[in-house]
Amino acid sequence: MLAFILRRLLQSVVVMLVVCLISFSLFHYVGDPVASLLGQDSRLQDFEELRERLGLNDPFYMQFANYIGNALRGELGISYRLQTPVSELIASRLPATIELAMASALIALVFGVTLGVMSALKPRSFTTGVVMTLSLVGVSLPTFLIGIGLIYVFAVELQWLPSFGRGQVVDLGWWKTGLLTESGLRSLILPAITLSLFQLTLIMRLVRAEMLEVLRQDYIKFARARGLSNRAINFGHALKNTLVPVITITGLQLGSVIAFAIITETVFQWPGVGSLFVNSVQVVDVPVMAAYLMFVALVFVVINLIVDILYYVVDPRLRIAGRAAR
């Protein structure tokens, strides 16, 4: 178990290093950081001084090492656009994104798995047909259109829910939450639904496909021949086997919810890191882009690690053989 986790950790570190390299290259080669910081009418001497001060004259590997060192200390540079440290910017916007992502992940997981299992168990029923067709409509609807549609119906026409923003937030000192006020909760509903729909359909279709595959296996046929009840076969034997691959992919899907929030945050003017990123791309604010990339990679790596451990717990073949067969 320990060796397994260690190996996974090592892989995660490699992934993070690669992503660091990419974001460092972004920093280094896209645009001129000095020009972006100093503005048009500075003297050549200022340029040289700043280059020296930023370490831009050092050899590549030194700069990269510095960059990683700074990143580990949470220093991610200064936004060209807002002239504030990137780490402060991200920290102030992080709670909004995380609360949104968690809420939608929960919706996607609960409904996705339930609907997926239902439609796999009754593949030929009318309801399944409707659900499957709806899920296709779901993946064909761009997220921003879903958002606009929900705003139009529930905020503009019916005026039940707010159309933008986070509502009132409570400052816990280290975390500004919208979950403790009524307006905050009401503001969360539409964005959370919007963000969850795409993942929901994906998870549902995945669970369905895996479960249908499992139901075709010999051991299910053998379980029927042993006279086990449908309940025991479907929920005991089939579901557990379905979960093994589903855990992996679902975990990664949920991880991508955070990055996927970019669109939803833009539509609902949600003050999270996603909308920060979009605004940065538009004006090529490289430090923010680079930092955001690293942030998303970190989320990915952490979730991946959790998924691997879960996988290990569920599948005895891994547990006993003691190595990943992926």
Partner 1 sequence: MSADTTRPAAPVAAKGALARFLDSDIWFSFKRSPVTIVAATVAAVLILSALLAPLISPYDPFNPATLNLMDGFTKPFSESMFGNYFVFGSDNQGRDVLSTILYGSRISIFVGLMATLFAMVIGISLGLSAGYVGGVYDSVVMRIADIQLSFPAILIALLIFGVARGIIPPSQHESMAVWVLIIAIGLANWAQFARTVRGATMVERQKDYVAAARIMGVNPLRILLGHVLPNVMGPVLVIATINLALAIIEEATLSYLGVGVPPTQPSLGTLIRIGQQFLFSGEWWILFFPAVTLVLLALSVNLLGDWLRDALNPRLR
Partner 2 sequence: MVETLVKPAAEAAATKRPVVSVRNLTVDFPLRRGNFRAVEDVSFDIMPGEVLGVVGESGAGKSMTGSAIIGLIEPPGRITGGEVLLDGRRIDNLPPEEMQKLRGKRIGMVFQDPLTSLNPLYRIGDQIVETIRRHLPVSEAEARERAIGLLREAGIPSPEDRIDSYPHQFSGGMRQRVVIALALAAEPELIIADEPTSALDVSVQAQIIKVLKRLCESRGAAVMLITHDMGVIAETADRMIVMNKGRIVETGKVGDIIKRPKQDYTIRLIKAIPSITDPIRVHAAPAEQKALVEVKHLVRDFDLSGSLLDRLFRRGGGKIVHAVDDVSFSIRKGSTYGLVGESGSGKSTCARMMVGLIPPTSGEVLLDGKDIWQAGAAERRRKVQMIFQDPYASLNPRWRVGDIIAEPIKALGLASGRSEIEGRVADLLERVRLDAAAMRKFPHEFSGGQRQRIAIARALSSQPEFIVCDEPTSALDVSVQAQVLDLMKRLQDEFGLTYLLISHNLAVVRTMADDVGVLNKGRLVEQGPVDQVFDAPKDEYTRMLLSSVPDISKVD
Q: Which of 261, 259, 248 is nearest to 303 (CA)?
A: 248
**Closest C-alpha to 165, from 265, 94, 258:** 265
**Maximum distance among all Cα pairs of the chain, rounded to whole angstroms:** 86
Q: Select the span of 82-90, 98-106, 160-168, 226-234 touching partner 2 (CB under 8 A).
A: 226-234
Asked if 122 is part of the footprint of partner 2 (rule: CB under 8 A), the reply reads: no
Stretch near partner 1 under the rule CB under 8 A, chosen from 95-103, 173-181, 222-230, 284-292? 284-292
| Site string (190-229) toward partner 1, x via CB under 8 A | --------------------------x-------------
Under rule CB under 8 A, how many of the chain's residues touch partner 2?
A: 28
Residue 226 binds to partner 2 (criterion: CB under 8 A): yes
Stretch that binds partner 1, among 48-56, 95-103, 256-264, 316-324 (CB under 8 A): 256-264
Site for partner 2 in 305-324 (CB under 8 A): 314-317, 320-321, 323
Binding residue for partner 1, selected from 126, 171, 282, 316, defined by CB under 8 A: 282
Q: Would you list the DSSP string of 69-95? A: HHHHTT---B-TTT-SBHHHHHHHHHH
Q: Which does 136 bind (CB under 5 to 8 A by kind): partner 2, partner 1, none?
A: partner 1
Q: Is 1 in the site for partner 1 (CB under 8 A)?
A: no
Binding residue for partner 1 (CB under 8 A) from 266, 287, 295, 315? Answer: 266
Q: Is 125 in the site for partner 2 (CB under 8 A)?
A: no
Q: Is 78 in the site for partner 1 (CB under 8 A)?
A: no
Q: Which stretch binds partner 1 (CB under 8 A): 51-59, 114-122, 228-236, 285-293?
A: 285-293
- Residue 198, both tokens: 């795409």
Q: Find, among 98, 38, 90, 144, the residue nearest to 280 by Cα.
A: 90
| Of 51, 23, 14, residue with least CA distance to 35 | 51
Q: What token pair was written down for 285?
A: 């604010």
Alpha carbon 173 to its chain centroid, in Å, reads 25
Q: Is 235 in the site for partner 2 (CB under 8 A)?
A: no
- Burial label for 178, CB within 10 Å (0-12, 13-18, 19+), is buried
- Interface stretch with partner 1, choices 41-49, 69-77, 112-120, 275-283 (CB under 8 A): 275-283
Asked whether 16 and 293 are in contact (CB, 8 A), the reply is no
d(CA 75, CA 207): 41
Spatial CA neighbour of 189 closest among 157, 172, 169, 167: 167
Residue 237 in the binding site for partner 2 (CB under 8 A): yes
Q: Which residues, in sequence order, are bridge partners of residue 171?
A: 176
Residue 120 in contact with partner 2, rule: CB under 8 A: no
Tell me which residues touch partner 2 (CB under 8 A): 7, 10, 217-219, 221-230, 232, 236-237, 240-241, 244, 314-317, 320-321, 323
